[in-house]
Amino acid sequence: MSQNEKKPKTIGLVLSGGGIRGMAHIGLIKAMHENGLEADVISGTSVGALVGALYANGNSAEDMLQFFRETPLFKYNFFAINKPGFIDTERYYPIFKGYFPNDSFESLDKPLHVVTTDLMKGEEKVFYQGDLIKPLLASAALTPVFSPVDIDGVLYADGGVMNNFPKEYVEDKVDLVIGSNVSIAGEVRKKDLKNSLQLAGRITGLMIYASSHKKLTECDLYIEPLELEKIGVLDKKGIEKAFMIGYDHGSRTIEKWFSKE
């Protein structure tokens, strides 16, 4: 069967959270584009929401990478004052405005669903219309590093707390679902679990991974590159490596899928 014969009518793309490892999402998107696969609807959490927004905005893979290269993770004048968290998330608004000048979901080329966590009600909240930038900032506000974002008097933070792989928002709308999970929880050494903070981080990581992995395997096509485990979640030096890992895995996965009769 040729690629043209096998191409689905509509495609949904689901992108997980996972910090810098999320550059693998961009690699997958490049591989999709090279194989004539374009998503019609997108859902994402945290870095997955950011990549999804750039993709829905019509930005190229290189543009997306440049966004993450240029956006500072830690900047002395971004430190939070009288806010919970070390970094004031809303200080990133002007940077995002440069990429999304219209600041609305409606201005994007593709429908996008952005998952956040309502810290006050303790529940998942998905944004898909209206203002765009604040929901994006909230979805990526990894606690306790980044401060929650105030939207209409409600504090929202990292969507990965409640739903790190939001497949639910695309699966009923498309013929084929492509997923990318970069929240990897591989094996650790005993010496890496010596204190309460390390233990809490490990438990949280395992819970997020278990939930994401199960939904990921229900996708028609997916990548979950274990090599990403060696890249730090907030290590900007890993941008190019994570991108190439995603591209390689995406290319092989798509090629294998096309080769099936």
Q: From first to last of the 261 residues of the chain, give the pLDDT tens digit.
A: 456 666 678 999 999 998 899 999 999 999 999 999 999 999 999 999 999 999 999 999 999 999 999 887 655 456 666 676 667 788 889 999 999 999 999 999 999 999 999 999 999 999 999 999 999 999 998 877 789 999 999 999 999 989 999 999 999 999 999 999 998 776 667 776 677 766 766 666 677 777 788 899 999 999 999 999 888 877 889 999 999 999 999 999 999 999 885
List of residues 6+ apart from 224 with CB closer than 8 A = 180, 181, 182, 184, 213, 216
Q: Is 103 a catalytic residue?
A: no
H helix intervals, 35-124: 47-56, 61-70, 93-99
Burial class (CB in 10 A: 0-12, 13-18, 19+), 258: middle
pLDDT at res. 135? 97
Q: Can you give the pLDDT at residue 1?
A: 47
Given a contact cutoff of 8 angstroms between Cβ atoms, the answer to whether 3 and 36 are in contact is yes
First vs last Cα of the chain: how many Å apart? 6
Q: Where are the alpha helices (DSSP H) in 100-232?
A: 133-139, 196-216
Q: Could you say which of 16, 43, 158, 183 is catalytic? A: 158
- Domains in the chain with CATH codes: 11-259 (3.40.1090.10)
Which candidate in 46, 147, 183, 251 is catalytic? 46
Predicted local distance difference test score (pLDDT) of residue 184:
79
Say whether 158 is catalytic.
yes
Write down the pTM of the prediction.
0.90
Tokens of 162: 């409640």
Nearest to 7 by CA among 37, 49, 42: 37
Tokens of 195: 């204190």
Give the per-residue pLDDT at 169.
97
* pLDDT the model gives residue 3: 64
